[in-house]
Structure 1
Amino acid sequence: MKTALKKLSMTLENSNSKTYLELADGRVEELQFTQAQPTHFTVNDSEFSLKSGVTVDLEIMNVDLVATSKEIWPGQEIRVRGGVHGQGAPMKASATIPFKKTITDGVQGESYLYWVMETPEGTFHNKKPIHMKGTLKGLPPKDATFYSESVVPLFDEQDNQVGQIYGCLQSN
């Protein structure tokens, strides 16, 4: 059963992220990102079940991150954009609140991220989402850490695989 819930807009003012970037030629770097712009997202209708509780669906409207390369392109900026200003559409996320619990108890959250990564060697993107998981204690997700467990291929503008990212970690 769907409950009527108006779309609610929220902003995450800052976060820190890191990921490993491995290029096809074997160069590898752990990139430390800071948030260049606040992340905007909306909370959509919720799904309620007596057995499982409430699932809150979110749309991440934008992600704008920046890092300075220390190894692959020393001193050069790498920028990541996601959402409307990245691949042109909001990214999906959700929080699952089990029956007889509240979000402040700490609940499972997950997101599916698509990035456009601007590098000195061109613009890269992922076709398979970066699946991030973490524990939420509120919205916006402050004091939360999200992580990925998969390796995600990266492609250039001609759709050639140019590398991969893995070990993604985000702290809000």
Structure 2
Amino acid sequence: MKTVSSKKNAKQVTMTLENSNSKTYLELLDGRSEELQFTQVAPTEFTVNDSEFSLKSGINVELGIKNVDLVATSSVIWPGQTIRVRGGLHGQGAAMKAQATIPFNRKMADGVQGESWLYWVIETPEGEFHNKQAIHMKGTLKGLPPKNATFYSDSVTPLFDSEDNQVGTVYGCLQSN
């Protein structure tokens, strides 16, 4: 297998995703739970980094998600209160990772597998919660920025408070761009 990469001439391209909608289920350890419907507060910026090409597997495009800023209004756990999710530089302090895999002899416009690994800071009336294990999202991309794409998670991710005590979980995450 031959891998070709142009890391010494590495360039980043910055792109912006203007709008997306997200939902997730938040369940606290005391049994309270709710489905939160999020809207995007600010455009999501991300970088497209150098790609790696393999004759066997195609092209792997690496992305850095610089920011995520979402809000929802709780109707069950904290009725009428705002829940805010921040990720990336303004969340846990570093860009989150994503990638698109374009198989050999295929174009992104045909639909290719995309994945992201999200780390969130969730601002709630009971304090800030964060995940230490990435929320792994999968979906199909037809271009960059990833418009008309839906990503989903199929795992349960623990949430922790500022003292690293587990306070709950998130699951069933879904994002539509």
TM-score (norm 1): 0.99
Write the distance in 2 (CA, Å) between the matches of 1:66 and 1:135. Answer: 24
Superposition pairs of residues 69-80 of structure 1, within 5 angstroms = 69-80=74-85
Tell me the amino acid that sits aligned with residue 133 of structure 1. Answer: K
Write the distance in 2 (CA, Å) between the matches of 1:118 and 1:47. Answer: 37
Instruction: Give 1:112's aligned residue.
Output: 117
Q: In the alignment, does 2:15 pair up with 1:2?
A: no
Write the distance in 1 (CA, Å) between the matches of 2:71 and 2:19. Answer: 12
Superposition pairs of residues 129-140 of structure 1, within 5 angstroms = 129-140=134-145
Tell me the amino acid that sits aligned with residue 24 of structure 2. Answer: T
What secondary structure is seen at the aligned counterpart in 2 of 1:104?
A: helix
Q: 1:143 aligns with which of 139, 143, 148?
A: 148
Deviation at 1:6, TM superposition (A): 1.8
Q: In the alignment, does 2:96 pair up with 1:91?
A: yes
What secondary structure is seen at the aligned counterpart in 2 of 1:42?
A: strand
What secondary structure is seen at the aligned counterpart in 2 of 1:57?
A: strand
User: Cα RMSD over matched residues?
Assistant: 0.6
The unaligned stretches of length 5 or more in structure 2 are none
TM-score (norm 2): 0.96
Deviation at 1:5, TM superposition (A): 5.0
Instruction: Give 2:45's aligned residue.
Output: 40
Deviation at 1:126, TM superposition (A): 0.1
Tell me the amino acid that sits aligned with residue 35 of structure 2. Answer: E
Write the distance in 2 (CA, Å) between the matches of 1:85 and 1:34. Answer: 17
Identity %: 76
What secondary structure is seen at the aligned counterpart in 2 of 1:124?
A: strand
What secondary structure is seen at the aligned counterpart in 2 of 1:165?
A: strand
Q: Is the 8 A contact 1:114 1:130 kept in 2?
A: yes
Q: Is the 8 A contact 1:5 1:46 kept in 2?
A: no
Matched positions, count: 172
For residues 23-78 of structure 1, the C-alpha deviation after alignment (integer angstroms, 9 at most, x for no partner) is 01000100000000100000001010001000000000000000000000000000
Tell me the amino acid that sits aligned with residue 140 of structure 1. Answer: P
The unaligned stretches of length 5 or more in structure 1 are none
Q: Runs in 1 of length 4+ with deviation above 6 angstroms?
A: none
